Chains A and B, each alone.
Chain A
């Protein structure tokens, strides 16, 4: 189906998120939409998928003017959107989620759906257990489920909003392969991303947005420099690690084994010293988050010892860890990190040590104002956190971290941020390191892990590599370990 966007305008208060965007997407093509955070990509896609209404402008599908008022309309018209955070219902089984949104009587036709699901899985090489609970799936698997569901519902235009954040390299390859297949069937794919490499390798054509305007289009062969130029107006690259000689050990793990329902991680021994940065690499769900949470005291290891500054803290509560100078930043922003319904000022009041019984609203407000400036959060002290965009929520999480931490544990610290912000955020984190903080972080962005870690541990299916010096380890070596190659034979 051909999609024709004509003069789309959308404003949020003073912000002109879409400023007269016109774009034609031929049927059967993979259209990349590039742009940094806040460029207007998500807004444009929400308009096309019916989640938001444009102030003005027209959408034509195959030469017919489309009347889009709600996501139900777009479903009927054959437009399906894969959201940044999958919209599935976690406490339900895969098969039940698959059935959601399908019309058809009082009794869902489960048998039929089951057959369709396994057919589609086979076609795209996904392995989804129809009876598994969705909460047990990785982000990548949930995405696969959602993709199959949309195809089954008959989507002829697929919109993918930053689909590769949070999924592993392997899942990414599987996703790209399936997208190519889908486009060969004549379906149109709109791929929203801020990752150049992905767009370059996947898309048949690219449109670049900046500050709500369409600033240019490109077709292969792409010139990276030109794309970057259109996105940012200048060329930038990732920064580098701090390279300071490490001081005394902040955290030590001896022979630690962590378990949850799905996997056993370890045994692992690792340590981190003052001013040091350790990166935990691996496919999403390889055990790195479990270990990080054990370091935070959120999960109690089943075996081994954990010491903070020499003190055995195994079995202490999470709050005991916090009192000893540990800071933890979760990846799930609105589920675990922020409190929807409270504004930024209230968040800063909550995270600062209280002075007395009454809230010092003015102090909290000025702190919020300072941090909003310092972290370039697009919002005001009165903005409820749920009204911020994903990238700004991420900045808020970072801005909320206490000062003078001994150990900072981060899950995907720069997920969903554009490259400029990544560099800038890490400048902030390195500043903390200079003041003595040790950092352990999980990231599925291999570049980030390589650039900012002093040492790296690779995770694969619960196995943990010895620490690898980031300086002398190549992308190839890391990639092989992440993909499960080069590990010593036999169970650990």
Chain B
């Protein structure tokens, strides 16, 4: 493996974080809000109590699942922007499976497991569609994914207002909530389900294992870095590309399944909550390498949760978290460019 980021790299990254904070501070000043108070609110709102920390973990779970999947597609050189739709389809499939098993008399544990598996399947199929469009239809995965995202949202809204609507009062608030027995068991008095955390850790471990040590991961990287040469070297590139999509979609689908079984207990519009797009940012921020991903994802989740009380306390919109997250990604990528510029010319061997 390549030598990692050196001391100067760490310094530049810290510099990027500082710049992002400065930038956000500037925006807060322009908006006439007290920056320090806003930051304090975010910290208190995310880490201030055990309850808050578990709330952060509730957001962390789908974010880690989606980002884990994205690390696979990024390794294969694919921009799976369709992750949002894959999360949504996961949620839809899970809801469908739970509706089917709800009145069948199956033990709740079996029903929940079936729901989770259905969610994984739904996300994987939706991703496979984007992959097939790319491999055989020549549709770039960014455009295909974006289109499929819209279709997925439309599908969920149609289900919520149509076939799966609440009797009499179908509304944006979603489908009829499932009984408690069909939820992933949560910790007493909290919203966090340890099972969901386990799922996220498992998904991350799987991806870490695949990318760091297996032939599968190495071939995937080869396909990502030079598909033509990978093909000539004997790697079935189309199959690996599709597998990357399926894996990512499956993990995205799992995120959707968790949203249904552990967070909302029903299907709502926008059930993906933007975790797919957020996952793209996390992946970029960690330079597409798994090692630091869970930590960065936790930080992003904390920003999301911490900013929830900004409107109440400071009359600020909670989108401040998004500003900070976006600025962070931009500055880190920018600093990466600076680092490449500063680095002395690479050693060319033998010439």
Contact = CB atoms under 8 A, between A and B. Distances in A.
Q: Do A and B bind each other?
A: yes
Interface of A: 12-13, 15, 17, 37-38, 40, 42-43, 52-53, 298, 318-319, 322, 328, 330, 334-343, 346, 349-351, 354, 357-359, 377-380, 382-384, 387-392, 400
B167 interface: no
Nearest to A335: B228
A43 B225 contact: no
Interface in B173-217: 213-216
A389 B350 CA distance: 6
A346 B218 contact: yes
A13 B230 CA distance: 31
B349 A383 contact: yes
A328 B346 contact: no
B315 interface: no
Given A357-B214, A389-B349, A350 B226 contact: no
B236 A319 contact: yes
B232 interface: yes
B2 A384 contact: yes
A61 to B, nearest CB: 23
Contacts of A13: 347
Nearest to A51: B345
The 5 A-B residue pairs with the shortest CB-CB distance in the complex, in nearest-first order: A378-B350, A389-B351, A341-B225, A354-B215, A339-B226
Given A342-B222, A350-B222, A358-B213, A389 B345 contact: no
A469 B102 CA distance: 80
Contact of B228 (A336, A342, A354): A336
Contact of A322 (B219, B228, B234): B234
Contacts of B343: none
B225 A359 contact: no
Interface hub of B221, B225, B226, B349 (most chain A Cβ within 10 A): B349
Contacts of B345: 52-53
Nearest to A40: B351
A383 B346 CA distance: 11
Contact of B229 (A339, A380, A384, A392): A339
Nearest to B219: A350
B214 A337 contact: no
B233 interface: yes
Nearest to B231: A318
A357 B2 CA distance: 22
Contacts, number: 108
B349 A359 contact: no
Given A336-B229, A339-B230, A388-B349, A349 B215 contact: yes
Interface string B326-351: 00000000000000000001111111
Contacts of A17: 351
B235 interface: yes
Contact of B226 (A12, A37, A340, A383): A340
A391 B231 contact: no
Contacts of B349: 12, 15, 378-380, 383, 387-389, 392
A357 B351 CA distance: 37
A298 B215 CA distance: 24
12 contacts: A13-B347, A52-B345, A334-B229, A346-B218, A349-B215, A349-B218, A350-B218, A350-B230, A357-B216, A358-B213, A359-B214, A378-B351
Contacts of A358: 213-215
Nearest to B227: A339
Nearest to B344: A53
Nearest to A378: B350
B347 A12 contact: yes
B350 A343 contact: no
A337 B229 contact: yes
B215 A357 contact: yes
A347 to B, nearest CB: 8
B350 A351 contact: no
B350 A392 contact: yes
Contact of A12 (B228, B232, B348): B348
Nearest to A296: B232
Interface string B238-258: 000000000000000000000
A58 B216 CA distance: 51
A330 B351 contact: no
- B225, B234, B351 interface centre (most CB from chain A within 10 Å): B351
A342 B219 CA distance: 11
Contacts of B222: 339, 342, 346, 350
A43 B351 contact: yes
Contacts of A377: 350
Nearest to B3: A382
Contacts of B236: 319
A350 B225 contact: no
Query: In the complex, which of the residues B215, B346, B350 has the most CB atoms of chain A within 10 Å of its own CB atom?
Result: B350
Interface string B113-147: 00000000000000000000000000000000000
A322 B231 CA distance: 11
A359 B218 contact: yes
A319 B351 contact: no
Given A350-B218, A350-B222, A357-B216, A387 B230 contact: no
Contacts of A37: 350-351
A40 B351 CA distance: 6
A377 B349 CA distance: 9
A389 B229 contact: no
B346 to A, nearest CB: 6
A340 B348 contact: no
A391 B2 CA distance: 23
A17 B225 CA distance: 29
Q: Which of B232, B234, B348 has the most CB of A within 10 A?
A: B348
A318 B219 CA distance: 17
B229 A338 contact: yes
Contacts of A319: 234, 236
B215 A336 contact: no
A380 B351 CA distance: 14
A379 B350 contact: yes
B227 to A, nearest CB: 9
Given A15-B350, A346-B218, A388-B349, 11 more contacts: A37-B350, A43-B351, A298-B232, A335-B229, A336-B229, A340-B226, A342-B218, A350-B219, A351-B234, A359-B215, A389-B348
Most interface-central of A322, A336, A349 (chain B CB within 10 A) = A336
A382 B234 CA distance: 22
A380 B3 CA distance: 14
B271 to A, nearest CB: 35
A325 B111 CA distance: 50
Contacts of B219: 350
B351 A42 contact: yes
Contacts of B350: 15, 37-38, 377-379, 388-389, 391-392
Nearest to A383: B349
Contacts of A357: 214-216
B307 to A, nearest CB: 37
A384 B228 CA distance: 18
